[in-house]
Amino acid sequence: MGQAGGPTTVANASLFGFLEKALPRCELYGVINGIEGLAEDMLVPLTNETVKRHRHVREMPGAWLGAGRWPAREEDFEAYAESLRRRDIGGLALIGGNGTMWSCMQLERAARSIGYELAVVGIPKTVDNDLAGTDHSPGFASAARFVTTVVRDVGKDLESMRNFEAVRVLETMGRNVGWLAMSAAYLKNHREDPPHLIYAPENGFSQSTFLEDVQQAYQAHGYAVAVVGEGLLGRARREGDENVKSPLIGGVSRELAALVQENLGLSSRGELLGMAQRSYSLAVSRRDREEATLLGAEAAQLLEEGESGVMIALERRPASLYEVEVRRVPLTQVAGVERPLPEEWRATSGGTAPESFVEWLRPLVGEELFSYPQNLLPESTLLSEEP
Amino acid sequence: MGQAGGPTTVANASLFGFLEKALPRCELYGVINGIEGLAEDMLVPLTNETVKRHRHVREMPGAWLGAGRWPAREEDFEAYAESLRRRDIGGLALIGGNGTMWSCMQLERAARSIGYELAVVGIPKTVDNDLAGTDHSPGFASAARFVTTVVRDVGKDLESMRNFEAVRVLETMGRNVGWLAMSAAYLKNHREDPPHLIYAPENGFSQSTFLEDVQQAYQAHGYAVAVVGEGLLGRARREGDENVKSPLIGGVSRELAALVQENLGLSSRGELLGMAQRSYSLAVSRRDREEATLLGAEAAQLLEEGESGVMIALERRPASLYEVEVRRVPLTQVAGVERPLPEEWRATSGGTAPESFVEWLRPLVGEELFSYPQNLLPESTLLSEEP
């Protein structure tokens, strides 16, 4: 069992779901630091005792086994497979994103090519929600919950400070896709509420439209809050393999804020919503944690049944009440495939998201969240006459 | 009643504490946008009906009346006083930081100088905790709660990503003082836990020491997390009056990260913990909200008693159980006075804070917070022998 790529708030829930299901019946090893652990043969035994002693780790963000990125090339996987064979490993589950699914696929192929029967199963995990083959990935819901609440709260702060700062550009994670950026609209109730603008990378970018949008929003509300996905300016160039060292991304918001300042002369700041998006424990969605646990357990079940070459996934039943069922997707269909926002969920106007997207998001982030009323305005209730 | 300066998560709790106490007995007006509202005569009537209809605003971050900064000079306050006199206002309470207390003092003086009997009371509010005359200020505890949990959580993420990023410099608010930066140590349990280094502005800054510290922390832990106060490099030049337009601050973390990259050749990023520090509702400390409400109510009481020229404040009783009593401090003793960390609370080593500071902080941020165990390490449990 290993964890790879960037961690999330619920990657350890998947780990513990897996361990609790698998341990009574198997001997188990943890792969340290994801693909690096495969490359460098860093395994630690995980026992019932380990799990019992560390059960609170389930609720801890990050990756207890260590995760991270590692520059693995296709030709490296035969050696990884050989190394696992020497330890007489029968099955491997990796928790990760689409780069990790690519590694799972390579490893399974490499093992087969050397006549080694190794079952490999992938467990999805990404805050970006860019994994194909699943309704959503564990990790995303909690990140979306953080994004929508922090945009609401920071937005309220900015509304209260109108006379100090005109424009704030808030930057979400998400690499090339706009799932998290669009989630910022979830708690927007009125046209006046922040965010006033959302830019998902899928929609491309036009500087002149952006500046017009900001100018209009500022004129309408007296301040403007824009949310942008980190991949908007093509920074988050798609890597195919998340284990290949990728350039540090982030900074679109600052570039755009500078653009606003220069062209519109409005005081403006860019702000990255930061690592808290994928790690802040106070924002965890309960459902996200439950589903992460479930998928871990189901992956253990699959391995035991000898299933291989698949990612475990969530399929939403077309019911009015939220229900998911667990399915398996061939790794070949998800490995290195990027899942953008569907066309019909890219439409955004005045910082809103399509209603069907909001409905899709509702059961994931939790219904107990609420929108704020507007601040008092001098215009609406001003005592303009002398008493 | 007005709110001024930068808002906090509990500035509206103070507002509602005040309104609920004052309204049954007075006619009340809200000053819109803080000092701007005084300058521009923007007042709105606040009635029992308003409070009843908007009672959930109590738990909303920001400033419901609008706050913000305004370039008021000493000579402007006579006009503000005249304007209040024309409305026959008998008393004014402002929620704010030390700039706001300065404005309260100026207004009270100006009123006296024109023979107008105006009672002025200040209600403390600052996430920086830089107000003198009080054990702590409402707003700080919630911000500290955010800082310590987010540093713990982001730190866990970075620990999990050791093989990807070596050094992260996290930047807290706090202007010239290190109360929030030091709070990051609260959930640190073991030497190995992040943060590994803390830099409070009160301690000054030496580039060579900083680089040595980072190098050592990196060597000891395989990664390093440093927390720095935004005022560390003298950016946050003290304004005396928070209503005077001050330069946008923030960015020390990025400068220091660049320094690390250049001089130590370690991959490094700076990250501002951002506006969420003073606005994130999911991190609010219950006690902070209660105390904010209490001070609002007590200020109303003082005004009714005809008291003037004071800030309402919290004094901690020297008891083993946390208890505070409310006191009043002359505005002349707090206006524009900065309250740094006391000498004995500046000592920091390996990312720790003095034990007495941690004990002081405990009842403010809430005891239900916990530290995380370390991730599994290959060295400690590695199966180094071939099976």
CB–CB contact A32 B377 (8 Å): yes
Q: pLDDT by residue (tens digit) across B346-360?
A: 999 999 999 999 999
Cβ neighbours around A308 below 10 Å, total? 19
Residue A240 binned pLDDT confidence (cut-offs 50, 70, 90): very low
pLDDT of residue A249: 55
3-state helix, strand, coil in chain A (%, to 5): 40, 15, 40
Residues in Cβ contact with A52 at an 8 Å cutoff, skipping those fewer than 6 apart? none
Question: Does B156 contact A373 at a Cβ distance shorter than 8 Å?
Answer: no
Provide the residue type at A370 as one letter: F
Rounded Cα distance between A55 and A13, Å, is 10
- Calpha distance B132→B330 (Å, rounded): 11
- Tell me if chain A has a CB within 8 Å of the CB of B163: yes
Q: Which residue has the higher pLDDT, A137 or B234?
A: A137
Cβ–Cβ contact B183 with A under 8 A: no
A321 touches B: beta carbon within 8 Å: no
Q: What is the mean pLDDT of residues B372-382?
A: 74
CB B323, CB B363: distance < 8 Å: no
Average pLDDT, chain B: 92
Q: What is the 3-state secondary structure (H, E, C) of A230-293?
A: CCCCCCCCCCCCCCCCCCCCCCHHHHHHHHHHHHHCCCEEEEECCCHHHHCHHHCCHHHHHHHH
Amino acid occupying residue B78: E
Average pLDDT over residues B155-162: 95
- In whole angstroms, give the CA distance from residue A248 to residue B268: 10
Q: Which of the residues B76, B128, B130, B213 is marked catalytic?
A: B128
- The amino acid occupying position B297 is A
Integer angstrom CA distances of residue B34 from A315, B11, B70, B269, B331:
51, 12, 8, 37, 18
Of B194, B198, B189, nearest to B155 (Cα)?
B194
How close A177 comes to chain B (CA, Å)? 22
**Residues A41, A76, A88, A128: which is the catalytic one?**
A128
Q: What is the mean pLDDT of residues A254-266?
A: 95
> Residue A233's pLDDT band (boundaries 50, 70, 90)?
confident
Contact B278/A at CB under 8 A: yes
pLDDT tens for each residue of B32-43 = 999 999 999 999
Beta-sheet strands, E only, within B24-82: 28-31, 43-46
Q: Give A3's contacts in chain B (Cβ within 8 Å).
A: 160
pLDDT recorded at residue B249: 55
Mean pLDDT estimate for chain A: 92
Q: Does A24 touch chain B (CB under 8 A)?
A: no
Identity (one letter) of the amino acid at A183?
A: S
Q: What is the pLDDT of residues B182-238, one digit of tens each?
A: 999 999 999 999 999 999 999 999 999 999 999 999 999 999 999 999 999 874 344
Q: B43, A68: Cβ pair inside 8 Å?
A: no
Question: Least CB-CB distance to B62: which of A67, A150, A156?
Answer: A156
CA dist B361 and B366 (Å) reads 9
B76 is catalytic: no
What does the pLDDT read at residue A198? Answer: 98
- Output the pLDDT for position A216: 98
Asked if A13 contacts A299 with a C-beta cutoff of 8 angstroms, the reply is: no
**CA separation for the pair A161, A351 (Å, rounded):** 20
Min Cα separation B48/chain A (Å): 15
C-alpha span between B113 and B115 (Å, rounded): 6
Paired sense of beta strands B310-316 and B324-330, if any: antiparallel
Q: Which residues are registered as beta bridge partners of A268?
A: A167
DSSP codes, B128-179: S--BTTSS--TTHHHHHHHHHHHHHHHHHHHHHTTTT--EEEEEE--TT--H
3-class SS of residue B41 = coil
- List all residues 6 or more positions away from B192 whose beta carbon is below 8 Å from its beta carbon: B220, B221, B374
pLDDT at A380 over 90: no
For residue A382, what pLDDT is reported? 40
The contacts of residue A85 (CB under 8 Å, 6+ apart) are A111, A114, A116, A118
Q: Using H for helix, E for strand and C for coil, what is the string for A126-189?
A: CCCCCECCCCCCCCHHHHHHHHHHHHHHHHHHHHHCCCCCCEEEEEECCCCCCHHHHHCCCCCC
Confidence check: pLDDT of A150 > 50: yes
B269–A248 CB contact, under 8 Å: yes
pLDDT at res. B261: 95
Q: Is the pLDDT of residue A40 over 50?
A: yes
| pLDDT digits 0-9 by tens, A71-118 | 999 999 999 999 999 999 999 999 999 999 999 999 999 999 999 999
- The CA-based angle A9-A10-A14, given to 5 degrees, is 155
Instruction: Suggest the residue from A164, A248, A286 to mutate for an interface test with chain B (most B CBs closer than 10 A).
Output: A164
Strands B43-46, B28-31: pairing is antiparallel
Would you tell me how many other CB atoms lie within 10 Å of the CB of residue A363? 16
Whole-model pTM: value is 0.95
B358 touching chain A per CB within 8 A: no
What residues does A325 pair with on adjacent strands? A315
Q: What mean pLDDT do residues B143-151 have? A: 98
